[in-house]
Amino acid sequence: MSRILCAFALASTGLLTGCYVATVDMGKPASATVHRQDFAPCWVFGLVPPPTVNGASLCPGGVSKVETQHSFLNYIVSAITFGIYTPIQITVTCAEAGSTSLLDSGDEMTIPAGATDEAVTAQFVRAAQRAVSTGEPVYVRFER
């Protein structure tokens, strides 16, 4: 009886494992151009990540969305290698040419290099007040 229970618990654990997905949306309208890498190499349960995807070279008009996920087949490969090789699937969706992101539409304020804590706090207060009064985002940049 305990073998049946153990087999049921193992099968349930495998079947209830979902496909992990992380999506980063850049706020730009998507085009039909999609670049997909089904087996981006990760190692040791993902502790060693895959190489960086160069979105600028893949999408000259900018990136609309990046999605990473562990598909069912990726989980099978990971199980076969005991987690030493843990591939992931990376999908990069290019943006439409000439589109602007939500980040491009907001106001911007700059904090000079070497600013005091009080100056930084005051600039963030002004940025928050401007965001509330205009209803638009305000971005604060730190100069180097």
Task: Give the pLDDT of the chain (144 residues) as one tens digit per residue.
Answer: 688 877 776 666 655 555 678 888 888 888 889 999 999 999 998 889 899 888 888 888 888 899 999 888 888 998 899 989 999 999 999 988 765 554 545 578 888 888 888 888 988 898 888 888 888 888 888 887
Give the tokens for residue 58.
């893949």
How does strand 63-69 pair with strand 88-95?
A: antiparallel
Give the Cα separation of 123 and 88 in Å (integer): 41
Chain-centre distance of CA 133, in angstroms?
Answer: 31
Q: Position 111: which residue type?
A: I
Q: Quick check: helix, strand or coil at residue 24?
A: strand
Q: Which residues are CB-contacts of 110 (< 8 A; sequence separation ≥ 6)? A: 140, 141, 142, 143
